[in-house]
A and B are shown apart, each in its own frame.
Chain A
């Protein structure tokens, strides 16, 4: 069965410092993994996705994530936080077999706060 665990429910950083949002996944096969961002009172926007090509995936707004199969991790990083990055971030795994194919399984979310 597919699942993701976001290791931190809240992360706080100062503007201009690095961001690290941690995610571990569980999947029987080679997973497809996504990071979505949700700004307050908005819908979800895709940041990036991993689909078994390059293990380092670059997304929008300077975010990137590295797929590490040995660690079953897909952590999201950004070198320098901006105030506009304050939002909730979801790590997501896609089902890849049978009745789960194409269905998304969400982590519980990490709330990112950026201090000036």
Chain B
């Protein structure tokens, strides 16, 4: 049981390049999330998915797209990377879905992807 896994662990891009960050969970969770972490800012929600086939914007969605490929996998795409997207990206998952969203639901986090855009 690996929990939440993310690939790659590190990535360096040039401005304007594109890339996709991959996330998978093996806990049969319904909901998945993408966050970015910047120094002194805590984590901020980019996008989330309450169930397979649905996605919603979080606090900072601009410049990103997501795909909920199936129940296990949730990818984050940067179409044209910018230096402002240099950050550490975390994927998370939780049990509940749209019909049963709960404020008590615990989110489980992956190890993160450290992205640098030059």
Contact = CB atoms under 8 A, between A and B. Distances in A.
Contacts of A109: 40, 42
Contacts of B101: 101-102
Nearest to B40: A108
B41 A108 contact: yes
Nearest to A32: B103
Nearest to B105: A102
B43 A106 contact: yes
Given A43-B109, A102-B102, 18 more contacts: A9-B40, A31-B103, A32-B104, A34-B106, A44-B90, A44-B109, A46-B108, A49-B104, A49-B106, A51-B104, A101-B102, A102-B105, A103-B45, A103-B58, A104-B45, A106-B42, A106-B43, A106-B44
A91 to B, nearest CB: 9
A102 B109 contact: no
B25 interface: no
Nearest to B91: A43
B8 to A, nearest CB: 14
Contacts of A41: 112
Q: Could you tell me the dominant secondary structure of chain B's interface residues?
A: loop
A42 B111 contact: yes
Interface in A14-66: 31-32, 34, 36, 41-46, 49, 51
Interface residues of A, number: 25
Q: Could you tell me the dominant secondary structure of chain A's interface residues?
A: loop
Given A9-B40, A46-B106, A102 B112 contact: no
A90 to B, nearest CB: 6
B74 interface: no
Contact of A107 (B42, B45, B48, B106): B42
Interface of A: 9, 31-32, 34, 36, 41-46, 49, 51, 90, 94-96, 101-104, 106-109
B94 interface: yes
Contacts of B96: 102
Interface in B33-91: 40-45, 48, 58, 90
Contacts of A103: 45, 48, 58
